[in-house]
A and B are shown apart, each in its own frame.
Chain A
Amino acid sequence: MTAMTKFFKDEILKHLPHRPPFLFIDEVDHLVTGQDIRAIKNVRVEEEYFKGHFPSNPIMPGVLIIEALAQASCVLYAVSLPSDAIRSYYLSSSKIRFLKPVMPPCRLELHSVSTKMVSQGGVFKVKAVVSNDTVAEGEMTFACQTQK
């Protein structure tokens, strides 16, 4: 297990195939390979989806919180099981309970702890936190495929 220092978008993009506007991690401020990660998404009022979800009452869609948690888990996976191949990730299941709404502006912490990681994918316990309050938590599994 190796602890890594804080890293930002340039480094994140080396580990994730996701790109804006579908990238939901701004920084990683804690990562222990094979173990856990804490990533950050700065949720801003200007984000496109708040125009419709909802007008005059911006709330981050739950599916995007799941996506952000999955992306944090993908970074943990990619750093823990490094590969030169280009990878794609497919969410296989997520059991997430939403506890509080996420409203901009806020700093959304994305915590993920590896339960099991193998070459085909991983199982993770995840939690999203805003100002020390857990806003969503649960488990997710994704499959990983390498592109030829």
Chain B
Amino acid sequence: MNLDNPKELETEIRKVVEVTIEKDINALSLDDNVLQKMGLDSMTALEIMAAMEERFKIRIQEQDLPKITSLRSVMEVLVRYLKKKEAKT
């Protein structure tokens, strides 16, 4: 994953979110609240978090769960963890 290419990361995040919530999210903007816009409950954020961990082979801390709101904030969380992971390898 090229972290300097936000479009590539966004596409990947959209794919993971779509598979997780089983809904088409093409109409969602980066700043829309995914749960509110798609009529989902708060536990869906945990499912998205778990799916991101599985896809990107990272472990996200519980304190970041409230940040799983919009695609942009998911992206920000992921970039932070992926950079940490990259620094370790």
Q: Which residues of A contact B (CB under 8 A)?
A: 92-93, 115-116, 118-123, 141-143
A142 to B46, CA, bound (A): 10
Contacts of B53 in A (CB 8 A): 115-116
- Residue B54 contacts which of A115, A120, A142, A143 (CB distance < 8 angstroms)? A115
Contact between B46 and A119 (Cβ–Cβ < 8 Å)? no
A residues less than 8 Å from B79 (CB atoms): none
- Interface SS of chain B: helix
Is the C-beta of B41 less than 8 angstroms from some C-beta in chain A?
yes
Tell whether, in the assembled complex, residue B43 and residue A119 are in contact, meaning their CB atoms are under 8 Å apart: no
A interface, over-half SS: strand
Give the chain B neighbours of A92 by CB distance below 8 A. 41, 43-44
- Interface pairs (17), CB distance under 8 Å: A92-B44, A93-B43, A115-B54, A116-B46, A116-B49, A116-B53, A118-B65, A120-B43, A120-B46, A121-B46, A122-B46, A123-B46, A123-B47, A141-B44, A141-B46, A141-B47, A143-B43
Chain B residues lying within 8 Å of A93, measured Cβ to Cβ, are 43-44, 47
Instruction: Tell whether, in the assembled complex, residue A118 and residue B46 are in contact, meaning their CB atoms are under 8 Å apart.
Output: yes
Instruction: Tell me, rounded to whole Å, the shortest Cβ–Cβ distance linking B64 to chain A.
Output: 10
Per-residue contact bits, chain B 41-76, to A (CB 8 Å; 1 contact, 0 not): 111101101100110000000100100000000000
Q: Which residues of A contact B62 (CB under 8 A)?
A: 118-119
Given known A115-B50, A116-B49, contact A141–B43 (CB-CB < 8 A)? yes
Closest chain A CB from B21 CB (angstroms): 10
CA distance A85 to B47 in the complex (A): 25
Q: Measured between C-beta atoms, what is the minimum distance from B45 to chain A in Å?
A: 9
Chain A residues with CB under 8 Å of B54's CB are 115
Nearest chain B residue, comparing its CB with the CB of A91: B43
